[in-house]
Structures are given as structure tokens and as C-alpha cells.
Amino acid sequence: MNTQAYLLMNESICFDILPPMETTGGRIRHLRARVLGLTQEEFAQQLQVTRGAVGNWERDQGIKNDNIVRIADRFGVSVDWLVNGRGTPPDGSAPPKPAAPSGMLTDAPPPNIDLSQAEDLPHFRGFGGPRNVPEYGAAIGGRRGDADFQFNGQTVDWAPRPPGIMHKKDVYSLRVTGISMIPKYEEGERIYVDPHRPPAIMDYVVIELKPSEEGEPGDGFIKRLVRRTPTKIVVSQFNPPMEIEFDRDEVKSLHRVIPVDELLGI
């Protein structure tokens, strides 16, 4: 067995001898072991993945952009640092504050702040950009029984603004509710939504139906756009796999979910 292979098998020796932050995997290892003081098993539990997945990431195998964003969002580090090694690395003096669970207020602007100046809010470490994207609250379920959520009309948090949408207007964020889009989107995962760019076929979308009563929220869905006809909008989901049809007349809005590559500007 060569020295490199032996060191990769022995985590503590490997970390102390090999350069720890030359690759994305090395920076993930640095974050986990040196900054957070977590084992691979503990780190995996925080992200709801397997220990084997974390081990692969640290060897620069199989890590996707979605996972990088989840790590950055969960542990409050910069995506640019994880991917490119740019910016100030976490120094390990104190663990970063984890991302807040859905529905909790974190670093939201005080009531007396003029939201027209949202670009001046404190910067959030996750993307190195301002935390000024509104996260809209949503209640699980709806009147139809098969709805993913209902907008509650409130801004419950302020999400970090990724570099790829730094100048895009009116973007908002949501937390995924339900399990219909697993494995693409996990329950509780944050998504960013563009209300202005028309979605293309096979884009992931947020659909809001017109309310059945005036002044009440309409049912909402996170799905994948399959096709459009003059009278129908057809979407699909993964769990259980099926297609769902909506009459165009009942749809209030159809907004595109922004892909991770676009959020990162790559």
C-alpha cells in the first residue's frame, strides 16, 4: 500500500500531514474536523446523508453543486471558499451558527429598517452576499388535500443572496414542504424562485392556484413542468411518480425555480 492510500484510510493522520485545503474535499474535511469538531458520522447526520457520502466528498468524489450549497447554508460558510478556496476560511475559533429551521427568524431586519435599503443589510457568510432575499412563509397542505403548501402572506426570514442572482429583482425563497419532489428536493430545503423569467419545459416550478375564497391564500405546489396547452398546465412529481393537470383558469402564478448552477453563477 502506498503512503497516500494509507493516509486516506487513516483520517487523523491524513488530516495532519496532507495539505488540508487544496481541494473542495480538503476544505470540507477542514470545516468538519477542525472548525466544527465533528466526526464524519455526525457531519452526515447534520446533512441527512450517509457517512460514506461524506467520505467520498472529502476524497473529491461525487460531490454535486446541490450538496455544496447545503453545506454552505447549513454551516454558514462561503460557497466561493468551498469551491474555489477564495475568501477567508473558517478559522475554527468558534463553530459557525447553523442555518435556522424553516419558519424561524434569523438576522431579519428590525421593524424600523427601510426595506428599500435591503442591499445594505449585514452580509451573510453562506454566499458572501447580502441576506436580503425574502423567504415567504408557507403552511403545509391545502384545501385540495394534495397541495404542497399555502403561502401565508408573510416574510418569515431573509435568505442569503447567491452570486449568480446578485442583481436579479424580486427573487424570493421558500422552504420545500412535503416529500413529493424527493430526491430532487428534500423537505425543508430552501429554493430560490424567479417570478419574471418564464419557465421552460422540464424546469422546476412553483405553482399558486387562485383562492377559493376572497382574501384567502391559494394552494401551492412545487413540481416539474411537463407541457402546456391552451387550456392546461401539466406538471410531474417524483414521490409517488405521477402527472398532475391544472386548468389554466385556476392558476394564479407559475414561477421558475432557479437551478443551483445559475445561483452560483457557473
92 pLDDT tier (thresholds 50, 70, 90): low
From the candidate CATH numbers 1.10.287.1400, 3.90.960.10, 1.10.260.40, 3.40.50.300, the one assigned to the domain spanning 3-84: 1.10.260.40
Looking at the DSSP bridge assignments, the partners of residue 155 are 136
H helix or E strand, kind and range, residue 25: helix 24-29
The domain 115-264 having CATH identifier 2.10.109.10: the answer here is yes
Q: Which of 148, 194, 199 lies closest to 169, judged by CA?
A: 194
Classified as helix, coil or strand, 207 is strand
Query: What whole-number distance in Å separates Cα of residue 53 and Cα of residue 60?
Result: 10
**pLDDT tens string 137-161:** 876 654 555 777 887 767 888 888 8
Spans of all domains in the chain: 3-84, 115-264
pLDDT of amino acid 225: 95
Distance of CA 217 to the CA centre of its chain: 24
DSSP class per residue in 140-197:
E--TTSS-SEEEEEEEEEEE---GGGTT-TT-EEEE--SSTTTTTS-TT-EEEEESSS
Query: Contact 223/234 with Cβ under 8 angstroms?
Result: no
**pLDDT tens string 152-205:** 767 888 888 888 888 889 999 988 888 888 888 888 888 999 999 999 999 999
Please give the DSSP secondary-structure letter assigned to residue 97. P
- pTM assigned to the model: 0.55
pLDDT(263) > 60? yes
Query: What whole-number distance in Å separates Cα of residue 30 and Cα of residue 188?
Result: 26
pLDDT of amino acid 256: 95
Looking at the DSSP bridge assignments, the partners of residue 179 are none
Which residues neighbour 86 within 8 Å (Cβ) at sequence distance 6 or greater?
78, 80
CB contact burial 72-92 (16+ within 10 A = b; e otherwise): bbbbbbbbbbbbeeeeebbee
Q: Do the domains 3-84 and 115-264 sit in the same CATH topology, yes or no?
A: no
